[in-house]
Every structure is written in structure tokens, then in C-alpha cells.
């Protein structure tokens, strides 16, 4: 695996590699969730590129940015083992030689849920992902469904900017106790880590009982179940049309539905989601 710290050097290298190019953008502190994306990319593409860049423009909370886990050396070893061909670890100056002032409008997609609770977050994600797509002119880009709303926003970015590439959504990888793997899990105290599996447990229970009660009743029960643990506090739990992200007030047989949640666990904010059948 070859490691690039400069965007231009990677772009030049990629011109010398015909065949399909797959790209996995990450913010590092890699775990098996990220590696599942890299492995799927390896199976489907001739060339596999992974970026590690903690993008400052998508953090609305300066403490979150400061505390975000950074483990580049260990990350590169994992990527080598997973069969990546190229890793990009650029500096902030290299990605943003000038301040990025672009303002995107994704309609409802970036206004609800994470968009409402992390102002500016998806604008920052769109800024960095579009920069990365300009550097790595890939055929397929891989994103995890843990960040369900992010995929909807990035699909819309690709549509608006006409990028000739396919977005591949990959399933959520969970720990054995059900907690969705996330780089931020490393920041949980042992007590909060022990409490956190309740999030997925409550989501699963909600889905199992969904059709036997109203949408509002199901939402109320999930929130109450999690909030009953003093270490966890639900920020939002929304049931949405999985395509449009519009909130719904009755169960549907005509479009896919998704339950999306954010929970504060001490100083750490966790997100998760589940398909509703």
C-alpha cells in the first residue's frame, strides 16, 4: 500500500491505473465497520483508495473536533492488511488551500435529524466529500448505513454536481452486544459503554412491536426505554420515509421506513438507525 499526504500526487498516480476505482472516505480511528467498507470495495473494484482526514468544517462542536480519536499509524497498518492500494492522509491546508465558502442546499435532507441538531454539519460533509471526489475520480464510493442521513445527502450531492460515480451503501457493523461500531465509542467511559447497547435493543423492540401500535406510541416507548437509564439521554428519535427523510405519522406498505436515533451518553453523542418492516 502506498501512502500519499499530497492530493496532487495521488491524483497523478491514479491516472496510471486503468480499471475501476473504488473509494472509501473516512475520518480514521478505524474499526471493523470501516474495514467492512474497504473489504467490499476490494471485492468490487480494481483499485482501492482510502482517505483519512478529520474534516474540521463538519464539526459544529469545537470540543468534539479536539477530542476526535486520531490513530493514523494503526489505521495504516489495518488498511494494508485489508488490501487497500492507496491511502490519502492530507493536511487541512492541502484539502482547503482557501477557505471553503460554498453553501449547499439539499432541501429537507440536511435540515432534519442530524442536520437540525448539528448546524452546518452536512454542509461541511458536502464540502469535503466534493473535494475528495475531485481528487479521487472514483467509479464507486462506499459509505456506511450507520450514517444513514449522510448517505441521502451525499447521493443528492452527486446528483446536483453530476459526479459520474455510484454511491454504495454498506450495512451497519455492530459489536457482539449490538452497539453500532463507531470511532467515538472509544471515548465512552466503561459505565456508558456498558449502558450503550440498550440503544439498539430498544430500536429492535420498537420494530418488533411497530405494527401493533401507532407510530407516535412506538416512538414514545423507544424513547422512554432508553431514557429510563440515567446514563443515556435521547436527543431525537424519528421515524422517516427512508428515501425522502420526511417524518411519518402512520405505517406504510409503499415506501421503506427507517427509525433514526441520536443519544447522548455522557460526553459522547451516539447515532444509530434501523429499518422498519
Ligand X SMILES: Nc1ncnc2c1ncn2[C@@H]1O[C@H](COP(=O)(O)OP(=O)(O)OP(=O)(O)O)[C@@H](O)[C@H]1O
Helix pair angle (7-15, 121-135), 10° resolution: 50
- Cβ–Cβ under 8 Å, residues 112 and 245: yes
* 27 belongs to the binding site for ligand X (CB under 6 A): yes
* 26 belongs to the binding site for ligand X (CB under 6 A): yes
For residues 147 and 115, give the distance between their C-alpha atoms in angstroms, rounded to a whole number: 12
By beta-carbon proximity to ligand PAF, the closer residue of 165 and 231 is: 165
* Segment holding 128, helix H or strand E: helix 121-135
Q: How far is the CB of 208 from ligand BAL (least distance, A)?
A: 27
Per the annotation, the verdict on 192 as an active-site residue is: no
* 147 belongs to the binding site for ligand BAL (CB under 6 A): yes
Any binding-site annotation on 33?
A: yes
Please provide the DSSP assignment of 254-265 as one string: SS-EEEEEEEEE
Contacted entry of ligand BAL, ligand PAF, ligand X, none for residue 128, CB cut-off 5 to 8 Å set by kind: ligand PAF
Residues within window 60-89 making contact with ligand BAL, judged by CB under 6 A: none
Residues 6+ apart with CB under 8 A from 98: none
Query: How many residues are there in the chain?
Result: 277
- Cβ–Cβ under 8 Å, residues 259 and 251: no
- The contact pattern for ligand X, residues 158-197, with x = CB under 6 A and - = no contact, is ------------x-xx------xxxxx-------------
Q: Which residue has the cell 414514545?
A: 220
**List of residues contacting ligand PAF (CB under 6 A):** 25-27, 55, 58, 125, 128-129, 147, 150
> Rule CB under 6 A: which residues touch ligand X?
26-27, 33-34, 36-37, 143-144, 146-147, 170, 172-173, 180-184
Catalytic (active-site) positions: 34
Amino acid at each position: 500500500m502506498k501512502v500519499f499526504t499530497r492530493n496532487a500526487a495521488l491524483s497523478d498516480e491514479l491516472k496510471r491505473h486503468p480499471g475501476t476505482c473504488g473509494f472509501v472516505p473516512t475520518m480514521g480511528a478505524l474499526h471493523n465497520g470501516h474495514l467492512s467498507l474497504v473489504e467490499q470495495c476490494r471485492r468490487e473494484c480494481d483499485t482501492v483508495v482510502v482517505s483519512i482526514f478529520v474534516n474540521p468544517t463538519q464539526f459544529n462542536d469545537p470540543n468534539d473536533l479536539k477530542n476526535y480519536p486520531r490513530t493514523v499509524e494503526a489505521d495504516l497498518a489495518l488498511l494494508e492488511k485489508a488490501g487497500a492500494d492507496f491511502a490519502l492522509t492530507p493536511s487541512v491546508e492541502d484539502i482547503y488551500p482557501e477557505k471553503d465558502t460554498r453553501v449547499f442546499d439539499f432541501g429537507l435532507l440536511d435540515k432534519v435529524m442530524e442536520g437540525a441538531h448539528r448546524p452546518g454539519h452536512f454542509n461541511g460533509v458536502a464540502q469535503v466529500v466534493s473535494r475528495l471526489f475531485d481528487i479521487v475520480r472514483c467509479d464507486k464510493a462506499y459509505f456506511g448505513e450507520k450514517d444513514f442521513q449522510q448517505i441521502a445527502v451525499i447521493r443528492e450531492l452527486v446528483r446536483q454536481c453530476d459526479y459520474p460515480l455510484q454511491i454504495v451503501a454498506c450495512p451497519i457493523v455492530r459489536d457482539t452486544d449490538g452497539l453500532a461500531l463507531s470511532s467515538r465509542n472509544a471515548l465512552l467511559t466503561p459505565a456508558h459503554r456498558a449502558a450503550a447497547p440498550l440503544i439498539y435493543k430498544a430500536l429492535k423492540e420498537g420494530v418488533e412491536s411497530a405494527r401493533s401500535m401507532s407510530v407516535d406510541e412506538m416512538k414514545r416507548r423507544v424513547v422512554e426505554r432508553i431514557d429510563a437509564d440515567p446514563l443515556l439521554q435521547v436527543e431525537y428519535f424519528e421515524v422517516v420515509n427512508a428515501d425522502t427523510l420526511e417524518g411519518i405519522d402512520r405505517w406504510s406498505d409503499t415506501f421503506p421506513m427507517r427509525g433514526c436515533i441520536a443519544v447522548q451518553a455522557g460526553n459522547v453523542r451516539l447515532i444509530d438507525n434501523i429499518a422498519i418492516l
